[in-house]
Structure 1
Amino acid sequence: MSDPRTRALRPVPDTEPQLVFRTIHGYRRAFRIAGSGPAVLLLHGIGDNSSTWSEIIPHLAENHTVIAPDLLGHGRSDKPRADYSVAAYANGVRDLLSVLGIDTVTVVGHSLGGGVAMQFAYQFPQMVERLVLVSTGGVTKDVHPLLRLVSVPVVNEMLKLLRVPGAMTAVRAAGAVVARIHGSPLRPGAMLHDTPDLVRVLGDLPDPTAYEAYLRTLRSVVDWRGQVVTMLDRSYLTENLPVQVIWGAQDSVIPVAHAHLAHSAMPGSRLEIFADAGHFPFRDEPIRFLSVLEDFLASTTPLEFDADRWRTLLIDGVGEADITGSPETRMAVLGAMGSDERSAT
């Protein structure tokens, strides 16, 4: 059986994305753009960049305008000493879309980009037509032990050694040791599934400014206990918004249990689990990922924002009746929402 990561997707002529630059607030923002039609925004994860979507963009661009930015501090975008919180990233996304003259989008966010996508939908609900969350951050605390370790101020200095020959092997070994110490909610055999991609991301830090931007971003969302931001307390606001959740069952960075929590907390959302994929399902299984995404786009109606309905949702808040799923999942969602350690934005 062929490896889905090496199988060729269908030929797509004349839809290769261009890498474009715009200066906003004095900082250069890089982004890939291709196609025409309704806009789809692709947001990458921490330490990654827009090239992570390279297999997906040309196919989406057949029927859509696809915008994939390098978030500030990542890729070819500038890396200033700045605010790298999910709220600041959401503001940056709004500014880029405004510069491009795009009023509404379907937002697809992976990992950190999923947290940014949720924050963007919360801050600028009038701009979001649909929401796709891919192995997203910001659900509850669990996260890869290596990221917890790197967030510790003294330990994170080890990142500077990643370019030393043999360092990547040491990082893999350290991640496995820490995982055994802390225990793991992951399926047997899943622990090291994502190590190559995780090490790829860590190893792509090319200079001190990229290194500092990565650490500032990481510390805004992760500490030694795990993730520090949750979207569960505001998930009820997606009541009328088409939402698709996609996760890999072998995800060793953010456990697949988070997919069920997010799905339970968002009324009417769709859930798709890729049994053999890890934290990067769009890289592990690009054909299936594209099929799920295209079906979601074709079978749902873009949300038209209703300010009165939004106000009513905020006033009424969330109740137990708004949470679906098994009793265990519902209790887990309520427990995560009630935690005194969660951080609201």
Structure 2
Amino acid sequence: MTSPTDSFAPRTRVVHGYERAYRMAGRGPALLFLHGIGDDSSTWLDLLASLSADFTVIAPDLLGHGSSAKPRADYSVAAYACGMRDLLTTLDIDRVTVVGHSLGGGVAMQFAYQFPERCERLVLVGSGGVGAGVHPLLRLAAAPGAGLVLPLLGTPPAVAALRGVAGLLRLFDDADLDYVLTRYARLVEPDTRSAFLRTLRSVVDWRGQVVNMLDRCYLTEGIPTLLVWGTEDRVVPSGHALRAHRAMPGSRLVLFEGAGHFPHRADPERFLEILREFLAQTPPARYDRGRWGKLLRAGRPVEAPETAGVPDVPTVSSGT
């Protein structure tokens, strides 16, 4: 795996008066990488370095995350999708394959729904937006008053307590836990904390996820779609992957055996191999307004029973 270089240092563009940080390199067909909540574009660095020889890779810090601005603003999934369209426009990029992890997967699906003419393929990694289930800690963080507690998460006693509780209750595997704790330590910063809460509460409440794209997943027919999930994902359980696979016509599903919520970090080389295969074997989607209208008029197909099998789901060892 090629090591990241200085060419992936964050750049900035001002969009709608707010500074947006992003990483960009390479040449060729464009790949847009979207990170999850509380994370930033650095989660993709190993993949960007390897792919930039053959593709134009773009990895933004979503508004409210990383080095991007953290204003009092709209942090809904739809607003994020519009933000991605506008950032791409400033970069003179019209069409992309969108790779989204967790919250970024929900943004990727929304991007494909709002701007199908700009989406060539979808790659959803442990994605939100395909069911209500979500990690109990995220439900708690979305509850009223959680903002008073979140600043404490970055303190050494709180980190030690979280590590102990998470280990005892098996809330995360070890690799995921270490990574998540480094990200949540940023919540001591008031602007970061505020943006995190606004983002979280736009998609999660005490009952779970409130944004569900399953009712529109049939519109991905004709858009090559790859689903990648860890079998031990406790943030967005792998059962969501099976549900999404059934709802997305022609989608491919690969499960990383033993991996948690970050399969692209658990085994980046295998993830890269699967992603390259998918890109090589699928032609980019071309938007057809008449076909889109026909799908909408036909409406969502009758759902398959939850007990129905999902054939031919590859499972690969994650290296963890």
User: So what's the TM-score if we normalise by structure 2?
Assistant: 0.91
Q: 2:92 aligns to what?
A: 101
With over 3 angstroms needed to count, the CA separation of the structure-2 counterparts of 1:25 and 1:46, relative to structure 1, is same
Aligned pair 1:69/2:50, yes or no? no
Q: Distance in 1 between matches of 2:13 and 2:236?
A: 33
Aligned pair 1:299/2:281, yes or no? yes
User: So what's the TM-score if we normalise by structure 1?
Assistant: 0.85
Aligned pair 1:280/2:271, yes or no? no
Q: Distance in 1 between matches of 2:189 and 2:4?
A: 36
Aligned pair 1:54/2:45, yes or no? yes
CA offsets 1:35-94 (integer angstroms, 9 cap, x no match): 000000000000100011111101111100000000000000000000000000000000
Offset, 1:162? 1.7
With over 3 angstroms needed to count, the CA separation of the structure-2 counterparts of 1:324 and 1:100, relative to structure 1, is farther
Counterpart pick for 1:170 among 155, 161, 173: 161
**Could you tell me whether the CA contact under 8 Å between 2:218 and 2:247 is conserved in 1?**
yes
Provide structure 2 residue ranges, at least 5 long, that are not aligned to the other structure: 311-320
Provide structure 1 residue ranges, at least 5 long, that are not aligned to the other structure: 1-8, 180-188, 330-345
1:14-29 alignment, distance < 5 Å: 16-29=7-20
Aligned pair 1:265/2:247, yes or no? yes
**Could you tell me whether the CA contact under 8 Å between 1:42 and 1:69 is conserved in 2?**
yes
Q: Distance in 1 between matches of 2:257 and 2:235?
A: 15
Aligned pair 1:242/2:233, yes or no? no
Q: Distance in 1 between matches of 2:290 and 2:144?
A: 45
Total equivalences in the alignment: 309
Q: 2:75 aligns to what?
A: 84
CA offsets 1:143-188 (integer angstroms, 9 cap, x no match): 11111111112234211112222211222445578x6xxxxxxxxx
Q: Distance in 2 between matches of 1:176 and 1:13?
A: 32
SS in 1 for 2:120: strand
Offset, 1:279? 0.4
With over 3 angstroms needed to count, the CA separation of the structure-2 counterparts of 1:13 and 1:134, relative to structure 1, is closer
Offset, 1:328? 7.0
Q: 2:121 aligns to what?
A: 130
Q: 1:227 aligns to what?
A: 209
With over 3 angstroms needed to count, the CA separation of the structure-2 counterparts of 1:14 and 1:205, relative to structure 1, is closer
Q: How much is the aligned-residue C-alpha RMSD, in angstroms?
A: 2.0
Q: Distance in 1 between matches of 2:229 and 2:305?
A: 18
Counterpart residue type for residue 85 of structure 2: R
SS in 2 for 1:32: strand
Offset, 1:326? 4.8
Q: 2:314 aligns to what?
A: none
Q: 1:45 aligns to what?
A: 36
1:127-166 alignment, distance < 5 Å: 127-166=118-157
CA offsets 1:19-40 (integer angstroms, 9 cap, x no match): 2100011000000001000000
Q: Distance in 1 between matches of 2:7 and 2:262?
A: 21
Counterpart residue type for residue 110 of structure 2: Q
With over 3 angstroms needed to count, the CA separation of the structure-2 counterparts of 1:95 and 1:288, relative to structure 1, is same
Aligned pair 1:115/2:106, yes or no? yes
With over 3 angstroms needed to count, the CA separation of the structure-2 counterparts of 1:175 and 1:219, relative to structure 1, is farther
Q: Distance in 1 between matches of 2:78 and 2:124?
A: 17
With over 3 angstroms needed to count, the CA separation of the structure-2 counterparts of 1:298 and 1:15, relative to structure 1, is farther
SS in 1 for 2:287: coil
